[in-house]
Structure 1
Amino acid sequence: MRLGWLRKRKLSSAALILALAIAGCEAASDRNNDSAPSGRNEAISGENVVIGMSLATLQEERWLKDRDIFIAAAEALGAEVQVQAANSNSARQIAQAENMISQGVDVLVIVPHDAAATAVIVEKAHAAGIKVMSYDRLIKDADVDLYVSFDNERVGEMQAEAIVSLVPEGSYAYIGGADSDNNAHLFKQGAFHILQPLIDNGSIRIVYDQFTEDWVPDNARESMEEALLANGRIDAVIAANDGMAGGVIQALTDQGLQGSIPVSGQDAELAALQRIVAGTQAMTVYKPIKKLAERAAELAVRLALNEPVATDKSVHNGKGNVPAILLDPVMVDRTSIDETVVKDGFHKREEIYAGAE
């Protein structure tokens, strides 16, 4: 257990007391592990724990929420969080993580920009005795200590189920996320679990299928323009997240087609919910970020303290099975906004419905 060695050097007596207290907690955890495998029913103190949080980007609404909720939850446990955002640049993310490792953080929580490139961070962290949590997005080809996310294949299934219910036959465009992001592949796998039987029986034709560099909405808009130009008619669009759905809908609006072609999304962004109310976006997938970030903050502290973290799932990342905790996503359309994102306080009702009622 590292416990922020930069500060511990100045607090050797306090650190000794803390270490003894933690040892007692670990013994209690071992005794109670069968009845409380996640350790969530036991008190935990993150005092003197320093968490390094490496984010791929803060350019989307949801990542700002993740950051703020995670920090608040970690600080409530007594931990300190150092945050760096790479602005969708793998080299920058690796350099930022290396800096946090050199500063002596106790655990790294990483949202990878590039699932494969960030494997080097895990290797360097482990060489320094630092555990690594892969947050929301899976790091590939590395011995990741813990993966905390949502069931991302189920996200893709929800997107496809919603669009198929509206357009059971016709020409589909699939506009996926970044090829470098493992989640984008999981979303697509989930969507095609639903689409493939309909493709096989001839009900649906996939006339356009592209990943989107860096999840950039303008790139999604350009893809939609290409799809319309190449095919003339598109009956439905599965867009992998809300930002890209916005780009797709802009391309449709330019052609006077907004609202006539169902478009999926994900992340329950405010702008997306406003589009759903307006009728230009069919649905989104709400991932209760508060549950994810709070759970991850607690587990990060436990990793830093070398406490056991039990999981009932694992995900293969190309190198081995990574222990995983996967939360359930929630489908949201016009009929379920109030009982989901509004009820949870994720967005305010008056902001979602502004100008619509």
Structure 2
Amino acid sequence: MNAMTRRVVIGSAAVSMALALSACGQAGGGDSEEKGSSTKIGLLLPENKTARYESLDKPQFEKAVKAACGDCEVVYNNAVADVVKQKQQFDQLIADGVKVVALDPVDSAKAAGWVKEAQGKGVKVVAYDRAIEGADAYVSHDNNKVGELQGQALLAALGDKAATAQIVMINGDEKDPNAGLFKKGAHTALDGKVGKVAYEASGEWDPKVAGEKMAAAISSVGKDKIGAVYSANDGMAGGIITSLENAGIKGIPVGGQDAEVAGIQRIVAGTQTFTIYKSPLQLAPEAAKFAVNLLQGKDLGAQGETDGVKSTLFAPVVVDKTNIQSTVVKDGIYAAADICSADLAAKCAELGIK
């Protein structure tokens, strides 16, 4: 072999080795990227018309994940009430290598199929706030109890008038299993104790739709015959109260849920009677704990089971004008300044909100 031939062979070998090393480096990079993706936790929330999801649940979940797993990253999306969009978001997380997803579904029945598919690919799912059949874990509040508390608070507000009162019920979206539990719990408390449920419809978790349904109820029942209104959440209560005011109806009990700042402000103002506080300081950290533990292969630390799924269910709390300070303000969900706008300052002072 002459010198020229040796140089060609050596040069070819060097190029081949370089290419092989390059390929190994790329493969190694892929493995590293795959391992890196396992530190990502998905959070998919259902809609943004309910203010709590963006302002409370998301930041509290992110904070709790970071505290439990410094290397973990939360990949977040909101479905804006679109089940097709949420499925795309869910599929994208799996395609990106995310191994644990906290999912608050737009449609729980459809989400059960997604969960089964995901589990077949080694992905675990925490059902967040709404139950999903076959999920790896479930975190929520006792949603039947939420409805019972709403009904009981409405009865307390009606007092002696309850036995003869005609009430209107504006329920949540029928695709949401929680809405069915709220409705069931409320009927458990109200049936046989109020004069009549004179009008009942779904407000679809939409303040505009709820307002329209309230206007229809006023036409159907009569503006002077409505004794109280059950609203499944605070967002819808806002639309309902606007319709009541437009019809000249004042002073009747209206209840909600979620302890949104706008709902709390209406309680201070006197246009809304109560809300139900489901603390994100309980819900989001517990869901984050479940997600991190599933990611790291640790025991969940669940408190029990719900329909065969390991779960933790927290107790909800009624908030009215007497305990705003000792609940949402004390817990740091809102500062007094968040609630007490200039036009509410005097009433806040009367209620001891500071």
What is the 5 A alignment of 1:255-334?
A: 255-258=247-250, 260-316=251-307, 321-334=308-321
Residue in structure 2 matched with residue 192 of structure 1 by the alignment: 187
1:8: Cα distance to partner?
Answer: 7.6
Using the TM superposition, name which of 130-139 and 71-80 deviates more: 71-80
Residue in structure 1 matched with residue 336 of structure 2 by the alignment: 349
Residue in structure 2 matched with residue 181 of structure 1 by the alignment: 176
Separation in 1, partners of 2:264, 2:227: 21
- Match of 1:181, as an amino acid? D
Secondary structure of 2:254's counterpart equals coil
Secondary structure of 1:158's counterpart equals helix
Asked which structure has the greater CA Rg, the reply is 2
Using the TM superposition, name which of 342-351 and 221-230 deviates more: 342-351
Q: Deviations over 1:105-145 (max 9, x none)?
A: 02011000111121222022111101111001112xx3111
Q: Does 1:74 align with 2:65?
A: yes
1:248: Cα distance to partner?
Answer: 0.5
Please identify runs of 4+ aligned residues in structure 1 that moved more than 6 A: none
More helix by share: 2
Q: CA RMSD for the aligned pairs?
A: 2.0
Q: Do the aligned partners of 1:217 and 1:243 also contact (CA within 8 Å) in 2?
A: yes
Q: Do the aligned partners of 2:41 and 2:102 also contact (CA within 8 Å) in 1?
A: yes
Residue in structure 2 matched with residue 136 of structure 1 by the alignment: 129
Residue in structure 2 matched with residue 22 of structure 1 by the alignment: none
Name which structure has the greater RCO, CA cutoff 8 Å, separation 6+. 1
What is the 5 A alignment of 1:1-357?
A: 9-10=31-32, 49-64=39-54, 65-76=56-67, 77-78=69-70, 79-139=72-132, 142-167=133-158, 168-169=162-163, 170-198=165-193, 203-213=194-204, 215-232=205-222, 233-258=225-250, 260-316=251-307, 321-354=308-341, 355-356=343-344, 357=346
- Match of 1:184, as an amino acid? A
TM-score by length of 1: 0.82
Secondary structure of 1:295's counterpart equals helix
Separation in 1, partners of 2:230, 2:30: 51
Same amino acid, percent of matched pairs: 39
Residues 338, 188 of structure 1: CA spacing in aligned structure 2 closer, same or farther, 3 A cutoff? same
Segments of structure 2 that go 5 or more residues without pairing to the other structure are 1-27, 347-354
Q: Do the aligned partners of 1:275 and 1:281 also contact (CA within 8 Å) in 2?
A: yes
Paired residues in the alignment total 309
Q: Do the aligned partners of 1:292 and 1:327 also contact (CA within 8 Å) in 2?
A: yes
Q: Deviations over 1:203-224 (max 9, x none)?
A: 42001111222x1100000111
Secondary structure of 2:226's counterpart equals coil
TM-score by length of 2: 0.83
Q: Do the aligned partners of 1:195 and 1:204 also contact (CA within 8 Å) in 2?
A: no
1:265: Cα distance to partner?
Answer: 0.5
- Match of 2:203, as an amino acid? T
Separation in 1, partners of 2:272, 2:30: 52
Separation in 1, partners of 2:333, 2:284: 13
Residues 238, 8 of structure 1: CA spacing in aligned structure 2 closer, same or farther, 3 A cutoff? farther
